[in-house]
Structure 1
Amino acid sequence: MFRNREVRRFAVLFAAVAVTAAVIGFLIRPAAGILSLLSSAAFGAAFYAFTRARYQKIAEVSEQIDLVLHHADRIFIGGSDEGELSILQSEVTKMTLRLREQNDALKQEKAHLADSLADIAHQLRTPLTSLNLVLSLLANQPDAGERKALLREAEELLTQMDWLLTSLLKLSRLDAGIVVFQSERVDVASLVDAALRPLQIPMELHDVSLRVDAPEGIEIWGDAGWLSEALRNILKNCMESAGDHGKIEVVCEDNPLYAGIVIHDSGAGFEREELPRLFDRFYRGKGTNAAGYGIGLALCKTIISRQGGTVTAGNHPQGGAVFSIRFLK
């Protein structure tokens, strides 16, 4: 306590005042001098006791700050006493809790980043291994027909890797918050048409029948380009789930509460334990047709939720999977 220069100055000043008062008291009357000494001693003792208690509390706060700096698991909880020190203790407690939350969040992000990098490496390794095998077979294949088939397979693998890298880049941009969505009126019928356009040829090749019920005049607010990307990922997932000779139904709905798009396929649907994880990144499901990369639905949900919408998935009462996109009005 006496290491504080202000306390030392106050002690010297107090001693000088006490001595001066005692001398004057004794000059006036001995009893007055004795009373002055006793009063000064009592006041000095009280001041010393209170100041020492305050410095002990400050030392506790300093110790807690030191523990926080050294990543201790303990946190300081201030007492119920009121006053400036209590306020300081409360602020230190808040700071400690905030730092702990941020530290835990950073640890989780670090673990998530490590897991994501491992998943990305695994996702890329599969087509790369297949591509190396195809190139090896192509080098030793004299038959022209077989060489064309192998070249087509190599092209498909390269297309898959290109789609995977493009989707990962989009996800990373969304995660970094550098994507600025446009807010404009989007016609839902035109949005569905734009999303279906790149999938028409694959649907014809697999004989997937398509029924679209999109009345004119239904509008939502958002970025047409990104919303089309999200819707296309769902439609692609439904096309793969429906398989050859499957069916896909797209119904647009509009009511006073929301405008939405419901997509239903004739595939096998989802297992009950899969439903909570369908939109998790890199989750591929447990079905035999789970041949994707677990990127499309995660990208879809990120795009829609960032624009104020919701997307859910479940099993249709008549069989198959059903996806529902809604935007509140």
Structure 2
Amino acid sequence: MFRKRKAQQEMEEISRMLERVLNGECIQPGEIGYEDTLPAKIRYQIRRISEKNQGVEARITRERDETKALIGEIAHQMRNPLAGVESYTQLLDGEISGEPGRTYLRALEQSEQRLHFLTESFIKMARLEQQMIQIKKTTDALADTIFSAVLLVQKAAEEKQMEVEVTGAEETKVWHDGNWLGEAVYNLLDNSVKYAPEHSKIRVVVRQDEMYTRIVVSDDGIGIPEGEENRIFQRFYRGSRVTGEPGFGLGLYISREIVRLHGGFMKAKRKQQGLEVAIFLPV
């Protein structure tokens, strides 16, 4: 009976050690015992697995951090050459008058703009991931923050004869950083302008209850398939319906990180026609 009870206790101890390893904990040398028994050998093997797991996790973390730093450094190094390209393009704009020179110049300008956008997105992503962003919150109405974001997409919306309708922002005050939250809202609006049809309406609705202030951006665009509601906030993820469209899969990820720094979260909801993306900020 004593042997059976002891064996049971040893198996329970081994089970607990395995559970700890699965949870990412490290098994210390003093926990394995020094008896020349099968349970002691199993505990020793568990400890070796634990050490290897810790080493793999440390290496993955180090490589991930190095990759993030490299991306940020490359983006910073691209800034000056891009500024030079932009300057020369502006100089050429006044010198080239005939076709096909003008066509080539417009193509060069569009490429420069896309590279500039990508570079700035990488820099923002790197700053967010390396926790270099300082959120400076003040209690202000959301109107200025949201309308500044609307202004940035106004030209693109007008080119597609789209309307951006904002309701509820004037009456709602919230503790936030206007510049960074404006960036988060802009990314949502930019996606809506890209993927919604011409002559459609983009709606921005602000609601507040006892727990959260919600900023909801909805459109009548191409939407997303079922199952992509959470994946669209991942870094570099692009929905299966937009693979043929220009973009880098960073906008919603950056928005999510900005909102997270505000203590909030984001959710996406499929519509029969289009998509609804909501920012939740704590009251």
Tell whether the 8 Å contact from 1:284 to 1:290 is kept in structure 2 after alignment: no
- Identify the residue that residue 54 of structure 1 maps to in structure 2: none
Q: Secondary structure at the match of 1:324?
A: strand
Residue 299 of structure 1, CA deviation: 0.7
Question: Where in structure 2 are the equivalents of 1:179-328 lying within 5 Å?
Answer: 179-288=133-242, 289-316=244-271, 318-328=272-282
**TM-aligned CA deviation for residue 219 of structure 1:** 1.4
Judged with a 3 Å threshold, the aligned counterparts in structure 2 of structure 1 residues 294 and 215 are, in CA distance, closer, same or farther, namely closer
Question: Offset of 1:305 from its aligned partner?
Answer: 0.5
CA distance in 2: counterparts of 1:298 and 1:116, whole angstroms: 17
**Aligned partners of 2:99 and 2:274: how far apart in 1?**
38
Q: By how many angstroms is 1:151 displaced?
A: 1.3
| Equivalence for 2:129 | 175
How big is each residue's C-alpha offset from its partner over 1:157-216, in whole Å with a ceiling of 9 and x where there is no partner? Answer: 101110110111111111111221102113112211011111111110111122211342
Conserved? CA contact 1:242–1:268, under 8 Å? yes
User: 1:109: Cα distance to partner?
Assistant: 4.8
Contact between 2:228 and 2:239, CA under 8 Å: does it hold in 1?
A: yes
- The alignment status of 1:106 with 2:47, answered yes or no, reads no
User: Is the alpha carbon distance of 1:183 and 1:271 closer, same or farther for their aligned partners in structure 2, counting shifts above 3 Å?
Assistant: same
Number of residue pairs the alignment of both structures matches = 229
Give the aligned partner of residue 157 of structure 1.
111
Normalized against structure 2, the TM-score is what?
0.69
TM-score norm. by structure 1 comes to: 0.60
Identify the residue that residue 166 of structure 1 maps to in structure 2.
Answer: 120
Report if the CA contact (8 A) 2:150-2:164 is conserved.
no
**Deviation per CA, 1:230-284, whole angstroms, max 9, x where unpaired?**
1101100111010322321111111122111111011011012322310111112
3-state SS of 1:182 partner: coil
Q: Could you tell me how far apart the structure 2 residues matched to 1:225 and 1:285 are? A: 27
CA distance in 1, matches of 2:121, 2:208: 30
Alignment partners' CA distance in 1, 2:214 and 2:132: 27
Deviation at 1:106, TM superposition (A): 3.3
Checking the alignment, whether the CA contact within 8 Å between 1:278 and 1:297 is kept in structure 2 is: yes
Tell me the amino acid that sits aligned with residue 284 of structure 1: R
Identity across aligned pairs (percent)?
26
Sort the Cα spacing of 1:79 and 1:99 in 2 relative to 1 into closer, same or farther, 3 A.
closer
Normalized per residue, which structure has more helix?
1
**What is the alpha-carbon distance in structure 1 between the residues aligned to residue 144 and residue 97 of structure 2?**
47
> Counterparts of 2:214 and 2:152 in 1: how far apart (Å)?
22
Q: 1:104 corresponds to which letter in structure 2?
A: E
CA RMSD of aligned residues (A): 3.6
Letter in 2 for 1:106: R
CA–CA distance in structure 2, aligned partners of residues 79 and 145 of structure 1: 79
Contact 1:261 1:326 in 2 (8 A): yes
Letter aligned with residue 295 of structure 1: L
In the alignment, which residue of structure 1 is the partner of 2:8? Answer: none
